[in-house]
Each structure stands twice: as structure tokens, then as C-alpha cells.
Amino acid sequence: MNARSRILSWDATTAIEALAAAESALWSWSPGEDSLRFTGATRPLGLGPLAPECSGAGFVALTLPQDRALAEALLKPQAEGTEIAIRLRMRGTETSLWRGVWLEDGLRAAGLVALETKFAGADKDALTGLLDRRTFLARAAEAAACQGDMEMVVADVDRLNRLNEALGHERADLVLAALGSRLAAAFSDSAWPARVGEDEFAIILPRGAGGNGQRLRDALEQPLRVAGFDIYPTVSVGSVAFEGGPDSPDASELLRRAELAIGSAKALGRSGTAVYGKALESDSLSRLALEGDLRNAFVRGEIEPFFQPIVNLNTGAVAGFEALARWRHPKRGLVPPDEFLGLTQEMGLMNDLGLMMMTRSSRQLGDWLKRHPQAGHLFCSVNLSVGEIERPHLVEDVARIIQETGLPHGALKLEVTEGDIMRDTEKAAVILQKLKDVGASLALDDFGTGFSSLSYLARLPFDTLKIDRYFVLTMDKDEGSAKIVKSVVNLGRDLNLEVVAEGVENASLAALLLDAQCHYGQGFGYAPALPAGDAEVYLNESLSDGSAPLKARSG
């Protein structure tokens, strides 16, 4: 053996010395032989009375009484490859972390045991300092092994993608870090606060311990200031109750159930709360079936544009339409957009939806322009989904659609959000100008609801600003909303931009907008989104009567 080989070689004595220096020990458990063997620093771990070999009963007897259920769980045979991660307190020493794996078709388990302090930081989420997902599941398994009524509560941060778009990932991470600190401060370590996903936090506590879900919400839903912005985080909360013991579901199953409840909570809107129940399982299966139907819907052409009128407030004439996606399901009928648009996003089909909406809406608009030349400069607005502005071949597709349908310059209006612009303003400016050059007009949607920057309005080639419906709906009752509407209208006029007000529910709101010199109105006061045939009827009626019908007051 050469010198290098002698340096790299290990013998049993060297291995034992290394384990002793690390105050760790190797262990091996053979259930068939009822034999638990140890090698290494057994005394600091409280295993000295048991070493080098003991029975399972002897091992359980040496643990603290409250941890004996966990010791029995460690010894219980499992399938080959099952990982072990359990915290145990032996008599007269600190908590130790047992890690290992089941081997040889579950006939034997082996691993390493060390004081938990030796593993400090290894099981922490790097961003928040909370437990990571794997460690949380290990702690949950410990809780599930003990008798008692427990509850796992998980909170999902609403609209994290919106924060990422507006602030950038680094600043959004500051928000998550702050939320982690608040969670750690609100709950003791015995609740095992953890970050179990990119935007998910979790705890485990005894059931009925003072409203666990509300305590979690109170900890996280406090305003904070990041990078000069006031952030008001909201969370959707899902929980699952369970009874600890040998018949308890495993930790991964409990987390799945809590996350399933979160899905139900999100359906209620921001800050929703839901508790797991068997009914959610059937809802989940229904969702799975809906995913399959949605993929087929694109193939079968079941998703189609509906058209909501946009009216010239000064003349009362229909100036254009906004195309909104609707799904005609062969069995369920018309599926509301809030039931399938989120699913479309999750399935990565938003770009397909955007291209389909642009194509079909442009064809319909081209047909109307041919049949109704008296309609003048009729336009159609189509929303670009989040991130679609960066889609490859977007400009080429828009140019091709305009050429194929023969639309006049500016008749196809593409609506983008502030989030898309703020993510990379310079890149967005280049793409928007290219879209303008190939014949599209451009609208900035929901202006004023995000992290608006007036500087980009002067630099980007927009034609239109759209005021969010909330400000319009409340402008007759809220002086602040009225001032915001007037300010946006004046800003639009100063920048030579047309302004569209969404949320026009009645004639009084239309009158207020007209007094503010707003150009266009859109809302249920005129009409909801209509199928193409009904939209053409509405257009014909407005052309015949000289103005679009408008409700005098909301119902």
C-alpha cells in the first residue's frame, strides 16, 4: 500500500474515533432478532446503559415516557427504502435525532443518531429559518404517533406571483422572510412552524388550542413595508384535524389533505378558510376530470369569445367590444370563467388560449366590419395573459392575424397588465413597439391597482388606459375613488391616451364619467359579455337607435 492509500484508508478504530469526536453513533435494528446494536459515542446520547446491544423493550423503557410512542414507531417494521427521521429524548440527556432507512425488504433498519444540536441548521429553510418541508413532515409523523387530538394548519400566501411580477423575486423573498419571522414569533417551537412550499407555511398544534387557523392568519396578515412599497399580505388557510395513534394517517397524507382544503379556501376568494372533509376528495376528483375536459375543449373548439360592448360616453354609440373567454361544456353547459381560467393557467395553456382568442375575435370583428360599415372604427380588445407578452412569436402571430383578417390599423387592441410591464420595462417597451408597428393598438389594463410608475406611461406606446372597475363602482359614494377616476382621465388626456372606465353599472355612473370627460364606458349597465350572435344584435340595435341602451339604475 503506498502512502496515499494509507492516508485514505479507514479502519474500524478510525471510524469509531470519528463518531466519538462528533458525539454520534451508528445503529442497526433487526426486528426478527429483537436486537438493537450501537457503535460510537453512546454515552453522550444517553444510550450508554444499552450499548452495545439491547432489546426493543429495553430501548423503549429508556426513553422518556412522553416519547415512548415515537420509540415504538422507530422500531415498527416498514417497507424497504422507507426513511426514518425521529426526535427522541432518552433519560438524562438532550433530544437526539435518529435518521436511517429500512433495508433488505424491511428486515433491518440502520442509520445514525446524534444530538439534535449537531444537526442545527441542516433542517431549516434557508430563506425563513423555519423548518423545511422534509423536517416538518418528520415532526408531523412524531405528532401522529402520539395519542391526542391534533390539527395541522397550512397557510398559502395569496397572489405571490403578483408580488414576484411587481417587486421582483429578490424583494418578494424579503416579504416571505418577514412572514417567516412573524410565524416563528407567534408560535412556540412545539408548534413546529415551517415553510412547506414556495408560498406555504404550516404548523401543528393540539386541536382547539385557541383557534389555530385564526392565530396563523393574525400572524401573517399584518402590513409590512418592503423596498418603499406598503404590502398587505393575505393568506388562504386550510386545516385538517386528526387523532394521533397507530391508526393516524401518515404525515404526507395529512399535508395533502390540508393543501386540498387550501384549494377550497382559494375558491372563496382572498383570505378564505376551509377545513378538510371527505367532500373535498370528490371535488378533487371532479377537478381531475375537469382538467381532462379542458384539454379536449381546446381541441374541440368549445372555448369561444364572448363580447362585452364598450360605449363612447359622449355619443352613446358602440365603439368596440372586449373579448372574454367562455367555455361551452357539452354536459355542464356554460362554465364560469373563474372555474377554468385559473386551471388553464396551472396547466400551462394560457398562451394557447390567448392565441385562440386573438384569432377568433379578429375574424369576428372583420366579419362585423364588412357587414356593418356604418359602425365606423369598431375595435376589439383582447387580454394578453400574464407573461404572454414575452411569448416567442407573439409579434409574428399578431401580424399574421391582422393580415389574414384584413383588420384596419388599430382595430385589434391588446390589453396588458402593469405587472407585465414592471417586470422588465425595457424589454416590454421593445415588444410593445413591435406590436404597434404590425398594426395592433395597446391598452394598459386596470391602471392604478398595481405599483404604477408614471415614467413608463410617457415612454411606452399605449393608446388607452383602462380604469379598474372598483374605482368606477364606488365613485358616487367614495370621494377618494372619484378623485382617482378624474385624475386618471386627466392624465390620459395630457398624454393623448383614450380612457376606458370599467364597471359602469347604471346611467348615474355614466353621467359622472361623462362630466369627468372620460372617453369610453364598459359594464353591466350596458350589457354583460354576449355570445357573438347576441353581440351583433346589440350592435344593430345601437346603430338603429343611435345609442347603446343603458340601465337607469342598478337592480
Q: Are 139 and 131 in contact (CB under 8 A)?
A: yes
User: pLDDT at position 501, please?
Assistant: 93
| 423 touches 455 (CB < 8 A) | no
Measured distance CA(312)–CA(534) in Å, rounded: 19
Q: In what order do the strands lie in the sheet with 200-206?
A: 194-197, 200-206, 148-157, 235-244, 273-275
Q: Which residues contact 440 (CB under 8 A, 6 or more apart)?
A: 398, 402, 410, 412, 413, 414
Task: Quickly list H helices, 317-453.
Answer: 337-346, 350-371, 394-405, 418-423, 425-437
Q: Are 382 and 407 in contact (CB under 8 A)?
A: no
Between 299-313, 361-375, 449-463, the lowest mean confidence (pLDDT) is in 449-463
At residue 500, the pLDDT reads: 95
pLDDT at 119: 60
Residue 120 reports pLDDT greater than 70: no
pLDDT category, 1, cuts 50, 70, 90?
very low
Q: What 3-state DSSP class applies to 507?
A: helix
Higher model confidence: residue 154 or residue 213? 154
- Mean of the per-residue pLDDT values for the chain? 85
Q: Which has more confidence, 139 or 454?
A: 139
| Helix residue spans in 76-151 (DSSP H) | 133-145
Cβ-based neighbours of 141, under 8 Å, separated by 6 or more? 73, 85, 86, 250, 251
Q: Up-side HSE of residue 407: CA atoms within 13 Å toward CB? A: 31
Q: What is the pLDDT of residue 122?
A: 56
Q: Average pLDDT for residues 472-499, to the nearest whole number?
A: 90
Mean pLDDT of 296-304: 90
Instruction: Tell the residue number behind the cell numbers 408580488, with chain if given.
Output: 163
What SS3 class is residue 140? helix
The pLDDT, as a whole number, for residue 287 is 67
- What confidence tier does 537 reach under pLDDT thresholds 50, 70, 90? very high
Asked if residues 283 and 276 have their Cβ atoms less than 8 Å apart, the reply is no
CATH topology of domain 303-545: TIM Barrel (3.20.20)
For residue 415, give the 3-state DSSP assignment.
strand
Mean of pLDDT values over 14-41: 85
pLDDT band at 127 (very low <50, low <70, confident <90, very high): confident
At 281 the pLDDT is 61
pLDDT at position 450: 53
Question: Which residues have C-beta within 8 Å of that of residue 272, sequence separation ≥ 6?
Answer: 236, 237, 264, 265, 266
Contact yes or no for 435/395 (Cβ under 8 A): yes
Question: Among 51, 87, 95, 83, which Cα is nearest to 69's?
Answer: 87
The domain 133-276 is classified under which CATH number: 3.40.250.10, 1.10.10.10, 3.20.20.140, 3.30.70.270?
Answer: 3.30.70.270
Residue with cell 427504502: 81
- The pLDDT score that the predictor gives to residue 44 is 86
Mean pLDDT of 471-483: 89
Average pLDDT over residues 73-81: 89
**What's this model's pTM, rounded to 2 decimal places?**
0.55
**pLDDT bucket at 415, cuts 50 / 70 / 90:** very high
Would you tell me which CATH number, out of the four given (3.40.1010.10, 3.30.565.10, 3.30.450.310, 3.10.300.10), belongs to the domain 12-115? Answer: 3.30.450.310
* CB neighbour list of residue 541: distance below 8 Å, 6 or more residues apart: 548, 549
Confidence of residue 69 (pLDDT cuts 50, 70, 90): confident
**pLDDT over threshold 50, residue 7:** no
Q: What pLDDT does residue 433 have? A: 94
pLDDT digits (tens, 9 = 90+) for 260-286: 889 888 877 778 898 888 777 656 556
pLDDT tier at 163 (50, 70, 90 boundaries)?
Answer: confident
Q: Summarize pLDDT for 202-245 with one digit per residue, the tens.
A: 999 888 656 788 889 999 998 888 877 788 899 999 999 988 87
Residue ranges of the domains in the chain? 12-115, 133-276, 303-545
